[in-house]
Chains A and B, each alone.
Chain A
Amino acid sequence: MKHSFIDEYSGLNSLIHRLDPRTKLVGSLAFILAVVLTPVNNWKVLAVYLGIVVVLVLLSRLPLRYLLKKSLVIIPFVIMITIFVPFFKQGQVVFSYNLGFWHIDVTYEGLSILLNVIIKSWLCIMCLVILSSSTKFAELLQGMYQLRVPLVFVQIMSFMYRYIFVLADQAMRMQMARDSRNFGNNRKIVFNTLGNMIGMLFIRSYERGERIYAAMLSRGYAGEIPITRTLQYKVPDACFTAALVVFLVFPAVIWW
């Protein structure tokens, strides 16, 4: 069945793709931290950070259209925050209007919070999109493990990653079958149907889990998956980290 592929472009070969996943994980966290810490309305710093994103996009050779499309996931939150804006009471009024008996003041402070949140969250989301599109999930997990994330947790995620496709397919087949039978026409049965679907999905998943576990046991699984390779921190990683630190810290030092 057709669904959006996980880490679709992670197989490309570019400078960013070849970096150690740990470099990318820690680098992303540092970038996001720097963006979020930037004081309100500090446009020069944010412009430099936008420049970093542009450079990363160019270096990674990822299709821009794809990246921009994926960054749209923040829209529902932006709408929510926009709804909140008229309710910031303090500050200088930019414009106001009347809705019948309801008087709304839009303040300068409210608008600047909105603008800052939109720009900052978009920069952060672009960084995450680049991270996930340039790194294979298995490598990301290996990086997490070497960054001291508990092994059980990493292994759960690696099994989850293997079966997401299978179970998502199963769920989508159920959904297609349901929709082709005029689902949603009768409100009373909506939740019951959905409950039965999810219940069936649970039982099937559970039984699948039992079979997988039995199959693994019969192949000698004893509670641990041997890790055959370790990641190596190389020269390009050190250079990348150094450059990133410079471009994150210097604008902040100069313009904060």
Chain B
Amino acid sequence: MHLPDGFISVPVAATTGVIAVTAIAVAVRVTNKKIGEKQVPMMGVLAAFIFAAQMLNFPVAGGTSGHFVGAALAAILLGPWTAVLIMSSVLVVQCVIFQDGGLLALGANITNMAIVSVFISYYIYKGIYLMFGKSRTGLLAGAGIGAWFSVVFAALACAFELVISGTSPWEIAIPAMGGIHMIIGVGEALITVAVLSLVMATRSDLLKLQVT
């Protein structure tokens, strides 16, 4: 959910803005050190990939459709800090070009969809992957569960911001946003697993990309 401007209060926007700026600054430093600025073209193309993948929608229930978010996939394929950079650039472009999400609310959107969802999914994935002894099953299970949590937690963070801003009452916003995204998250999980199994079958070398 890309929050537009006017839905969150200035203190919430300021706090999440500081979180987003700090995370991007750290991500720039980490990725500079690990892969160097030389990989910038690749990261740009992959950001465009996330953008294009989000355009592919699938029918949900009752004529509505959902689309893939990709934070978990980016985190698993590229490592969390690179994923933070890529997801943030997708969100900035969506904001300034397509008005998908507000300018003052950009910090909140980056916090929800490029920070919370990336790190939640990455550490859940990593934990399950190691628990299963780095097997194929562990990788796919971890990716699926991580992807589900990434969507649910991004939605909860969004609901939480709306509640703090006084735009919606908590007793309805949190169960509604959380509930809907528990269903949407299943789609995200299934797609992430399918993408990863295809990548493993065709170019398994790409799974060793992780830079952090």
Contacts and interface: CB of A to CB of B under 8 A. Distances in A.
B195 A199 contact: yes
Interface size class of A (residues with CB under 8 A): 35 or more
Interface string B16-28: 0000000011001
A213 interface: yes
Given A164-B52, A191-B190, A192-B194, A88 B45 contact: no
Contact of B9 (A36, A119, A132, A163): A36
Nearest to B40: A155
A199 B48 contact: no
B53 A223 contact: no
Contacts of B47: 156-157, 159-160
A177 B119 CA distance: 35
B191 interface: yes
Which of B173, B187, B198 gathers most chain A CB within 10 Å? B198
B90 interface: yes
A45 to B, nearest CB: 14
Interface residues of B, number: 77
A167 B45 CA distance: 9
Nearest to B172: A87
Interface string B123-159: 0000000000000000000000000000000000000
The 7 closest A-B pairs by CB, nearest first: A195-B194, A159-B44, A121-B6, A199-B198, A124-B5, A120-B6, A191-B190
25 contacts: A81-B167, A113-B166, A117-B7, A125-B102, A152-B28, A155-B37, A155-B40, A156-B47, A156-B89, A157-B47, A160-B90, A164-B52, A166-B48, A167-B49, A192-B194, A194-B194, A195-B190, A198-B53, A198-B56, A199-B197, A199-B198, A199-B199, A201-B52, A208-B45, A209-B42
B93 interface: yes
Given A196-B194, A199-B199, A223 B38 contact: yes
Interface stretch (A26-34, A58-66, A233-241): A26-34
A208 B44 CA distance: 11
A88 B169 contact: yes
Interface string A192-225: 1011111111110110111011001000011110
A81 B7 CA distance: 9
A255 interface: no
Contacts of A196: 194-195, 198
Q: Is the interface of A mostly helix, strand, loop or mixed?
A: helix
B19 to A, nearest CB: 16
Interface of B: 1, 3-7, 9-10, 13, 24-25, 28, 31-32, 36-49, 51-53, 55-56, 58-59, 68, 70, 73, 77, 85-86, 88-90, 92-93, 95-100, 102-104, 166-169, 171-173, 176, 187, 190-199, 202-203, 206
Given A171-B55, A198-B56, A137 B195 contact: no
Given A32-B5, A150-B28, A160-B93, A171 B195 contact: no
Given A163-B48, A201-B49, 10 more contacts: A33-B104, A87-B168, A128-B102, A152-B85, A153-B28, A156-B43, A157-B44, A191-B194, A195-B194, A221-B41
